[in-house]
Chains A and B, each alone.
Chain A
Amino acid sequence: MIGVPEIICHQVEKRYRNKRVLHSLTCSINKGKLSGLIGRNGAGKSTLLKLLAGHLKPTNGEITVFGECPFNNLKTASNIMFVEEGMTFPPLFTVLDIFKMAKDFYPNWQHELAKRLLDYANIPTNAFHHNLSKGQKSTFNLIYGLASRCTISLLDEPMNGMDESIRTDMYRAILKEYIAYPRTIIISSHHLNEMEHLLEEIILIDNGQIKLHASLDDVQQMLVRLRGDINLIRKLTSDMEVFFEKEDLFHYEVVVERNKIDEKLLQTMNILVQPVTASEVCKFMTSKGKGGIDDVFK
């Protein structure tokens, strides 16, 4: 039943000793959504996924997955696959042994699909996981995660270390698996632009809080770039929140919320209105200053 929140986080706080990584984090994720968890380095993406997988327990607040707390919970553990860079397997096992082991544990395990994907990625079945290169390890981990066909798949930076072509292929593999067997998939990444085409919704996390949780369409429509005469634009945007500002010899541009402007009026004033990609929206919404890196050199 799509629409029922499968994952609920309420006022979640997570501290590592004195460092507060997540605070007052509240969100709910519906069943069967393919979501992107976007954020800068250290924003708290991995910590949130580890909490959902039951690897960590929240310092404060409440997390429920399938209506239950995921920490030390067999029901959630049986239905969540958490893929991350630090995944390890017994060193004595070849990748084929690992697949055989997974077959014993996961009722929906797709053995033939896993082997075909492994073959496609040129990973020999007699290789040991710890001997694989960084990119191969990531590929293997992702294949393992997809073939397990769990109700919830949490993929933490799954493409780390992969080369360009296998990244594209693996994104396609995720999409094909999702279309064939819809389930909740959350992919965390810094690179929204390369996986934008897959996603249904975006969860933007910044400084340990959810900054934005909306559908991809809404995010793409959220901001616009205005280019034109500096004085005119400054006058028009004086009472608006400016997310980005850039000035050079010939141009002046700002990024503001789309619903705050009147596009027809701007066109008559010779101001160019350009769309802002979802990736840029996330970047601007988590920037420290309005000018980006240029501010540092001023």
Chain B
Amino acid sequence: MMSLNEISFSQIVLNQVKWKMKAYSQSIIILILIQITVSILFSGGNITMGGGFNEVNINIHYYTLDSYIILSCIWALVIAILMQTNGYRHDDYAVITTRYTASLANVIVLFVYSFIATIISFMTLYILIALIQVVGNIAVMKEYTLFEFVHFGLAFFIILLAASIGYLIGSIFKLSKGLGILMVVLAVIFTAILNVQPEALLVNFFFNTGYLSFMLKALFTCILLFVSSIFILSRKEVNRR
């Protein structure tokens, strides 16, 4: 008679992370393609300022990370929501899994993917700047150091925040579509009645006390959102058809 398999929680989570990274790898290619497309079509979404004096016209183009980070945030949000759809969730049950191992593996994958998305965002900007100098023969002046760990950390946590928000939205809609819609409606009514600007509130909350404080607040918020999502989905049944 066969004996029972004894497999640890961490071993299962690590295996799931390994295979989920492969399974969702196309999403990274999609992000790269989006970033390249935006770079080609909109020159990286640069800001242009023009001015003139007598016969001299000066146009100053600012090439920043902002547009790439925003794109990565939208990408992370969508990927995190998609992870909660039936198609992806049911794939988990083809191998050894519980709701906790699958959710934890998803969270780790989102951490890793957010990190990769940050690298891609930086790299796209560097490639764009290099191309402008080489192909366009235009001199580029740097306003800040091209790479700073603090900027990298900021970008990473902004993308991770988007991913954790997406994961929570996906979890709420997974639990109940009605509840998801109700929460969105309530949020809209709340902002309309109180005449508050949620983005202003969020920016104020996260950024008013410096970069390090932002990173700590972002990390704490992400953990809170991910734990809430894991808890929400821990009792969810599976019905593959």
Chain A residues packing against B (C-beta within 8 Å):
1-2, 31-32, 50, 54-57, 66, 72-75, 77-79, 82, 84, 86-90, 92-93, 97-98, 101-102, 104-108, 144, 149-151, 181-183
- Given the interface pairs A72-B99, A73-B98, the reply to whether A108 lies near B2 with Cβ below 8 Å is yes
Chain B residues packing against A (C-beta within 8 Å):
1-7, 9, 12, 15, 18-19, 22-23, 25-26, 87, 90-91, 93-101, 234-235, 237-241
A-B contact pairs, 9 of them (CB 8 A): A72-B234, A74-B9, A74-B98, A77-B96, A92-B23, A105-B96, A107-B5, A151-B3, A183-B1
CB within 8 A of B5: which of A56, A79, A92, A181? Answer: A79
Task: State whether B235 touches A31 (Cβ < 8 A).
Answer: no
In the complex, A113→B83 CA distance in Å? Answer: 33
Task: State whether A55 touches B19 (Cβ < 8 A).
Answer: no
CB within 8 A of B19: which of A74, A86, A101, A108? Answer: A101
Which chain A positions have C-beta within 8 A of B241?
86
Tell me whether chain B's interface is mostly helix, strand or loop, or mixed.
Answer: loop
Total number of A-B contacts with CB less than 8 angstroms?
A: 98
- Given the interface pairs A55-B237, A88-B90, A90-B91, the reply to whether A107 lies near B7 with Cβ below 8 Å is yes
Which chain A positions have C-beta within 8 A of B96?
74, 77-78, 105-106
Task: State whether A87 touches B94 (Cβ < 8 A).
Answer: yes
In the complex, A98→B23 CA distance in Å? Answer: 11
- Given the interface pairs A57-B237, A74-B9, A104-B15, the reply to whether A149 lies near B101 with Cβ below 8 Å is no
Which chain A positions have C-beta within 8 A of B22?
90, 92-93, 97
Q: Using A72-B234, A105-B12, A108-B5 as known contacts, list a sample of 20 further A-B pairs with CB atoms less than 8 Å apart, ordered by residue number in A.
A: A1-B1, A50-B239, A55-B238, A56-B237, A57-B235, A74-B12, A77-B96, A78-B96, A79-B4, A84-B240, A86-B240, A87-B93, A88-B87, A88-B91, A93-B22, A105-B95, A105-B96, A106-B96, A107-B7, A149-B2
CB within 8 A of A182: which of B1, B12, B93, B99? Answer: B1
Task: State whether A78 touches B7 (Cβ < 8 A).
Answer: yes
Which chain A positions have C-beta within 8 A of B18?
104
Please give me the residue from chain B that is nearest to A74 by CB atom. B98
Minimal beta-carbon separation of B95 from chain A (angstroms): 4
Question: Top 7 closest A-B pairs, CB basis?
Answer: A86-B240, A90-B23, A55-B238, A105-B95, A78-B5, A78-B7, A86-B241
- Given the interface pairs A32-B1, A105-B95, A183-B2, the reply to whether A72 lies near B239 with Cβ below 8 Å is no
In the complex, A144→B22 CA distance in Å? Answer: 20
Task: State whether B7 touches A93 (Cβ < 8 A).
Answer: no
In the complex, A73→B101 CA distance in Å? Answer: 10
Interface centre among A77, A87, A144, by most chain B C-beta atoms within 10 angstroms, is A77
In the complex, A88→B96 CA distance in Å? Answer: 14
Task: State whether A104 touches B5 (Cβ < 8 A).
Answer: no
CB within 8 A of B98: which of A66, A72, A84, A144? Answer: A72
In the complex, A150→B94 CA distance in Å? Answer: 13
In the complex, A108→B6 CA distance in Å? Answer: 11
